Amino acid sequence: MFHKEGQKIIITTFFLVVAIVLVAQYYIELDWVRFAVQIAALILLVLILQFFRNPKRLVTPNFDEILAPVDGKVVVIEEVEEPEYFKDRRKQVSIFMSPLNVHVTRYAASGTVTYSKYHPGKYLVAWHPKSSTENERTTVILHTPKFGEIGYRQIAGAVARRIVNYAEEGEQVTQGQDAGFIKFGSRVDLLLPLDCDISVKLNQKVVGARTCIASFRENND
């Protein structure tokens, strides 16, 4: 199953690959050169298909857990000052996605979208410390039953040139539901309350809508 955001690119790439294969077949005389060109074209198609894959992941919403919004590797766990919306201290958990990861963004929790904003910006590598505030990005805030307001940012990387964000203010969303897509390499930052318990470690690989990122702390002070 492929994500709808990749339909045009997949169709365009398919016809391009077919054209390359046919041209090579009839116009390249050297067997090894013809074979190499055809294989390279087919590999390109396979890479595009795997990038836009969209595996179904059924989720039973759990108000006590924040799930990973994307597939990737945890590259940041730290307390930060969040200046755009919260204007206070937050726990930030950042997940880096390589071009080989599934790039679907899924809602980490169920709740109501209270803020959704796009910011144009730079295209620093996604693991750069300033990418969270200087790169092209979107900021989305959800009001959840247990955690209160939580935020996430879709951040473009050095290769990504388009962020797709489906969150609309006032919308009720469900944990695991499709929230958007980032094309070709990126990062997502989660902005969580200080009193939640982080369940992941640095460099841990996580799976969107599967891995618990943080849990609700009962009877916190």
Phi, psi of 146 (to 5 degrees): -105, -40
Residue 142 one-letter amino acid? L
Residue 28 one-letter amino acid? I
- Our measurement of the distance from residue 135's CA atom to the centroid of its chain's CA atoms, rounded to an integer in Å, reads 15
Given the residues 94, 131, 132, 186, select the one marked as catalytic: 186
How many other C-beta atoms lie within 10 A of the C-beta of residue 193? 21
199 among known catalytic residues: no
b/e for 37-74, b at 16 or more Cβ within 10 A? bbeebeeebeebeebbebeeeebeebeebbbbbbbbbb
How many other C-beta atoms lie within 10 A of the C-beta of residue 29? 7
Q: Is 135 exposed, middle or buried (0-12, 13-18, 19+ CB in 10 A)?
A: buried
Quote the CA–CA distance of 151 and 173 in Å, as a whole number. Answer: 13
Q: Which residues are catalytic, by number?
A: 186
